Structure 1
Amino acid sequence: MTARKGFLNLLTVSLGYVFVVTSMQAGGNIGAGLNFKDTVLATLLSSAILAVLACAMGVIASKSGLSLGLLSKFSFGKAGTYVPVAIVVVTTIGWFSIDAYLIGQSTNTLFPIIPIVPIAILGGVGMTLTAMRGMKWMTYLSNLAVPLIIIFGAISMGLAVHSAGGVSGMMAIPQENPVDFGQAVAWGVGSYAVGAVMFTPDIMRFAKNAKTAVIVMIITMMLGNTFMLLSGAIGSVVTGTPDVAIMLSMQGLLAPAFLVLVLNIWSTAQGCVYSGSMSLNSVVPKVKRTWLVIGFGVIGIIFALVGFYNYFGTYIDFLSSTVPPLAGIFLADFLVTYKRDYPETENVELPTINIAGFIAWIVGFLASKIPFGMSVINCIIVAFVVKAVLGMVMGSGAKKKA
């Protein structure tokens, strides 16, 4: 409890995660496929779904003090936890690589003489170094980046609405490549599903109580995440491109916003490295986290150089169907299997593989493919119900040590 943090400290770190340029990119995809009214509704609905996920995970983490990696051990077993941790690792490396590439691309867009590759490498190295410093440095950077991105995001939206002739003008702009409303919501959820479900425990285990965790996550998702999605969506509707660097350049904002853009990308990317290394450290505790952070940075830079950025749409589709079921599983364990009281890990022998967790995850994933209702909601509810029932029937699988 002596390591718990205050409300403002947690809020700035949490907003530093969610104020991410890749969310603007996802918002850009939504804005390019829906009319203005549906764009606003889709972003609000996706943020509300993310808020529910994040609040649930925040309450679990604040009450248990457990990181994602340790929660996964209870739900999937000592060896089984490698699977959700692997998703965190691949996902955080993926986000990191996109962020590193965006730093290079933004620099190249503003200064065409400077190639993307060396700047992407330098950005990746710098982001890795600050992530090695942990929560304290992440807080400093978030305190600087968050207010600035709010200012420039608001300016970008204001210019876009003004150039379109107001809200009525925005409403009248046709969509060249319309998409299904449910697909747009899935993009919005997928853009930060990993953050809501998998990053939240690593941050909110520092919360002094569940109330603090809930308030922080509601503000983060309903205000922060919605703001970022709409920033990208509104700009995309007017400029015709979901590409953030090109969008800001067309609005004449890239030069004044360049440092802000880099700071924003930086604060999010270091969060990816921090959470990813924390999760991996839970399954390989003998390896120093410093070496894990360095490994993340190196692999992330390689991903950036081989063009992972080009698979952005497919990537968030994958995340929107595989990550949300995990929240249902963790919540079922917390409420039903362990009845809000996880045992001390040193006092119990956890199963090598918890079959119930994997059954619930697979069934939840399959539920996301059912052409009925909202896929992201279906998979959460189904995963929760399946894990709760299996937990009551099969038990936790944990045995007290002699």
Structure 2
Amino acid sequence: MSTLSRLTRNHANHAVPPDEQVGGVRIALVIVGVAITLPAFLLGAEIIHGLGAVRGITAIFCGGLILTATAMLTMTVGARSKLTTYAITQFAYGRTGARVVNLVLSITLFGWYGVTAMLFGQACQRAVLELFAIDWPLAGFIAAGSVLMVVTTVFGFRAIEKLSRLSVPLMLAALFACIYSVLQHHSLGELAAVPGNSDSRLSSMGMAISAVVGTFMVGVTIVADMSRFSRRPRDSVVAALGSYGSFSMLILVMAGIPILVTGEKDLMRTLYEFGLGTPALIIMIFATWTTNTSNLYSASLSIAQALPFARDWVITVTAGVAGTVLALSGVMVHFVDFLLLLGITVPPIAGIYMVDFFVLRRGRYQLQALDGAPAFNIPAFIAWALAVAVAALSSKQVLVITTIPACDAIVCAALCYLVSMRLAGRRFDAVQKSATQNNALSVDRINR
């Protein structure tokens, strides 16, 4: 294996080797880096604006509890199997069926890569104009940002993890500087007394919690891409608590507090008003950089499943260039609604593979066991379709189970899949038994 291939391998089609596994704290840093993003800042501001400080913070951390509980499960699947999300889906959906799932995931992530690259360019252009009174072309900022993102992603999880170790402390320090500036002029009591705005889109506790969960649930669904690098399954608990259970939610709170004083939802603009232009630039650059490397990384892993013989770095560069071209063309503005529609199709995927892993296969995910499995697992697709329908109805408040569409979709998918697989239990057990026997025979031949 060449040095370039060794440094850029993503282990898309096999388990992560022991020498590349890390602890839960380092995985948590990566997830927090992904969570610090411009849309998340806007979400925090909307919630605090609509509910006020006390109720808003309560809603944010209630959403965090739901995300943490779900993430512990999805991350444990990755930590125990050492496989990507896209390899994991083969067990529940079948080898060929998983390609359909991967197509939805890759389009979603690839699309958000283009949108984030465009947002990066726009934010950089405005920051340079505000700080230095220089009006450079938008295309140059988009292209420069994409180069940073693609180069980082080419070198895989290790590069993303090192970027997070550098960027997360810097971004948190900049956010704390903003909060410190606010508290210099206003006490905590004054901030807590500011009422919520009933005209806000997120003026109810249920809607706010739903927004928090819905915003991060796609990431929770594919977080096995990161947790597969865990040394031990219990590192998943550490990573979930250190990200979704604490710092990721704290970021939403810190992004929302300034709106109580300024009334401005745009955190970057607020930082400029407080004379914190440099911290604003640091947050903006690193927030989009860390988030988009994750988008591109997971999208590349998905594409690698369909192109197992292509080099990992070639897939990443090609996907990055294509995403950049789309961002430069401006079509991503019209793509957002489509991406939001796809977003309701992703959470059910987690519900299905969690049941498959923990209940039906009881933690036994070995790629060799797929040899005797059907190409398409029809019950999984039936459960997925029903869950997407429930999510769509729930988002329009026609059918409400938990009041949170993403959670409704996961619960529906898990229950439907479990029931349908139990009804087809004999056939499934026979396939599992055959695959296990074939795997045992193969191991026995190797040992001989």
The aligned length equals: 400
Q: 1:183 aligns with which of 185, 189, 207?
A: 207
RMSD: 2.6
Partner deviation per Cα, 1:29-51 (whole Å, 9 max, x = no partner): 33343333332122112211211
Matched, 1:67 2:84: yes
The 1:95/1:254 distance shift into structure 2, 3 A limit, reads: farther
Matched, 1:382 2:406: no
Q: Which runs of 5+ in 2 are unaligned?
A: 1-17, 130-134, 442-448
Matched with 1:104 is: 121
Q: Relative to structure 2, which stretch is displaced further, 29-38 or 184-193?
A: 29-38
Q: 2:239 aligns with which of 205, 210, 216?
A: 216
- Alpha-carbon distance, 1:128 to partner: 0.7
Matched with 1:393 is: 423
Q: Which amino acid in the other structure matches residue 407 of structure 2?
A: I
Partner deviation per Cα, 1:218-244 (whole Å, 9 max, x = no partner): 111111210222122223444334334
Matched with 2:14 is: none
The 1:44/1:318 distance shift into structure 2, 3 A limit, reads: farther
CA distance in 1, matches of 2:370, 2:194: 63
- Alpha-carbon distance, 1:278 to partner: 1.1
Matched with 1:195 is: 219
Identity %: 23
State the TM-score, normalized to the length of structure 2: 0.81
Superposed, 1:241-320 pairs within 5 Å as 241-305=264-328, 306=330, 308=332, 315=339, 319=343
Matched with 2:10 is: none
Matched with 2:154 is: 132
CA distance in 2, matches of 1:225, 1:166: 21
Matched with 2:73 is: 56
- Alpha-carbon distance, 1:70 to partner: 0.8
The 1:364/1:312 distance shift into structure 2, 3 A limit, reads: same
CA distance in 2, matches of 1:84, 1:386: 17
Q: Which runs of 5+ in 1 are unaligned?
A: none
Matched with 1:114 is: 136
State the TM-score, normalized to the length of structure 1: 0.89
- Alpha-carbon distance, 1:281 to partner: 0.9
- Is contact 1:197–1:324 with CA below 8 Å preserved after alignment? yes
- Alpha-carbon distance, 1:23 to partner: 1.9
The 1:15/1:172 distance shift into structure 2, 3 A limit, reads: closer
CA distance in 1, matches of 2:249, 2:362: 33
- Alpha-carbon distance, 1:62 to partner: 1.3
- Alpha-carbon distance, 1:143 to partner: 1.1
- Alpha-carbon distance, 1:303 to partner: 3.9
- Is contact 2:41–2:252 with CA below 8 Å preserved after alignment? yes
- Is contact 2:62–2:209 with CA below 8 Å preserved after alignment? yes
Counterpart of 2:362 in 1: which secondary structure?
coil
- Is contact 2:46–2:201 with CA below 8 Å preserved after alignment? no
- Is contact 2:146–2:320 with CA below 8 Å preserved after alignment? yes
CA distance in 2, matches of 1:22, 1:169: 23
CA distance in 2, matches of 1:366, 1:184: 22
The 1:287/1:7 distance shift into structure 2, 3 A limit, reads: same
Counterpart of 2:28 in 1: which secondary structure?
helix
CA distance in 1, matches of 2:422, 2:366: 17
Please say which structure displays the higher CA radius of gyration: 2
Q: Relative to structure 2, which stretch is displaced further, 308-317 or 108-117?
A: 308-317
- Is contact 1:9–1:139 with CA below 8 Å preserved after alignment? yes
The 1:51/1:68 distance shift into structure 2, 3 A limit, reads: same
Matched with 1:31 is: 48
Partner deviation per Cα, 1:352-375 (whole Å, 9 max, x = no partner): 221111222222233331234322
Matched with 1:151 is: 173
- Is contact 1:34–1:178 with CA below 8 Å preserved after alignment? no
Partner deviation per Cα, 1:42-100 (whole Å, 9 max, x = no partner): 21122112111211011111111221011111111222212322232123223322332
Matched, 1:13 2:38: no
